[in-house]
Amino acid sequence: MSEFVLSRSVEALQPSGIRRFFNLAAGMEGVISLGVGEPDFVTPWHVREACIQSLEKGFTAYTANAGLPALRKEITKYLNNRFSVSYNPETEVVVTVGASQAIDIAFRAILNPGDEVIVIEPSFVSYAPVVELAGGVAVRVQALGENEFKVTPEQLEEAITERTKAILLCTPNNPTGTMLNKQELEAIAVLVKKHHLIVVADEIYAELSYDEEYHSFANIEGMYEHTVLISGFSKGFAMTGWRLGFVAAPAYFIEPMLKIHQYTLMCAPTMSQYAALEALQTGNRDVIEMKKSYHKRRNFIVSSLNSIGMECHLPGGAFYAFPSIKSTGMTSEQFAERLLMEQKVAVVPGGVFGESGEGYIRCSYATSMNQLIEAMKRIEAFVHQHCK
């Protein structure tokens, strides 16, 4: 304890439940991890090479605050080609330090103290803390397992008050893998229009959709004006460590975000920007290959879990399966802890992602097929031993 009074808003934050779990798994031998939320692929060689070449050429200085003009142009081209959304590279894009920084500056730019943001749980663990650090109030709405973790418009409408400023929408979702289709997005758009809301759309998993075509929220009719589109290179392009993402939005959102970005970060790392440029220009084939591999693994893990008796909906995207553990009678925390100790398989307890995640676990299938096969054997043994 120090004699200093530090930030009360930081003190009020709960530490992430995921961390505690990883600390447990670290140091144990022979653990198969279905815990981490990142690709098992190494960034393709030509992307790494583009970075090396940029260093060889001596491109080691800051870039423009918003990012390399060529990269911003390529991002807008990519968004247009892939998702039919069009942005001006000069005024409507900022290259950020991961999607994480984009989410942070989005909320700092749009919230005034006490403004409410609807966070749909189960959700990525950073959302509510980031909203709260920006002075907002996170209003949690529970997407339910019975509904394949799809939030309903009725649930959203019920949560909207005159203080509601924004909805944070993540599809495909971490941790459930649930992806909303066009009709479902359109139903949300009706509410957004009616209540004049902003949507912060975390589309970081947009490249990883398996059954249906992906629809960006910004592409839903009338939603461009309401949407702050956030994405990045970590997931689809297997570039987590490069710390590179971006935000695209109408200039009235981008201007204040850029102000925060230039005072706090200056610019995203230059060498990573050169790598990202290469990834967008020639990396489409890599993305398709990696996606094919995740798709195969998704089908395997979901059918295995269901045949073990752990009910699991077919997640439309990302690389997470979110099966029920209710037949064991354990809490998700007990399940994950005992599975780790007894069978050496690391998963994440669903409860850390919010109330409606309790009774479930998150299994990341961004790991090799051999590891997945072995993990499923171990989980089966565990469940059969403990099933009531």
Q: Which stretch binds ligand PMP (CB under 6 A): 92-100, 256-264, 321-329, 379-387?
A: 92-100
By beta-carbon proximity to ligand PMP, the closer residue of 50 and 106 is: 106
Q: Nearer Cβ to ligand PMP, position 236 or 323?
A: 236
Told to check if 274 binds ligand PMP by CB under 6 A, we report no
Question: Do 130 and 82 contact (CB within 8 A), yes or no?
Answer: no
What distance in Å separates the CA atoms of residue 346 and residue 355, rounded to the nearest whole number? 21
Count other C-beta atoms under 10 Å from residue 194's C-beta: 10
Taking CB under 6 A as the rule, does residue 124 contact ligand PMP? yes
Smallest gap from Cβ 128 to ligand PMP, in A, equals 13
Q: Choose one: 96-104, 211-219, 299-307, 329-337; the region binding ligand PMP (CB under 6 A).
A: 96-104
Q: Which residues, 6 or more positions from 248, have their beta carbon under 8 angstroms from its beta carbon?
A: 75, 76, 79, 85, 87, 92, 93, 218, 229, 231
Among 40-48, 95-103, 337-345, 359-367, the segment contacting ligand PMP (CB under 6 A):
95-103
Q: Give the tokens for residue 110.
A: 């749009």
> Binding ligand PMP by CB under 6 A: which of 122, 136, 145, 245?
245
Q: How far apart are CA 143 and CA 156, in angstroms?
A: 10
Nearest to 346 by CA among 17, 5, 21, 3: 21
Closest to ligand PMP by CB, 274 vs 353, is 353
Contact 332, 359 (CB under 8 A): yes
Q: Using CB under 6 A, which residues numbered 225 to 244 contact ligand PMP? A: 232, 234, 240
352 binds ligand PMP (CB under 6 A): no
Chosen residue from 98, 145, 323, 357 binding ligand PMP by CB under 6 A: 98
Give CA angle at 352 (335, 228), nearest 5°. Answer: 145
Comparison of 140 and 378: residue with beta carbon closer to ligand PMP: 140
Contact (CB, 8 A) for 89 and 75: yes
Strand 348-349 relative to strand 361-364, pairing:
antiparallel
43 touching ligand PMP, by CB under 6 A: no
- Which of the ranges 47-55, 97-105, 152-160, 340-348 carries the binding residues for ligand PMP, by CB under 6 A? 97-105
Cβ distance to ligand PMP smaller for residue 276 or 308: 276
CB contact set of 292 (below 8 Å; sequence gap of 6+) = none
Binding residue (CB under 6 A) for ligand PMP from 118, 170, 249, 290: 170
Binding mask 187-206 for ligand PMP (x = CB under 6 A): ---------------x-x--
Element holding 363 (H helix, E strand): strand 361-364
174 binds ligand PMP per the rule CB under 6 A: yes
Paired tokens of 240: 């987590």
Residues that bind ligand PMP (CB under 6 A): 37, 98-100, 124, 170, 174, 202, 204, 232, 234, 240, 245
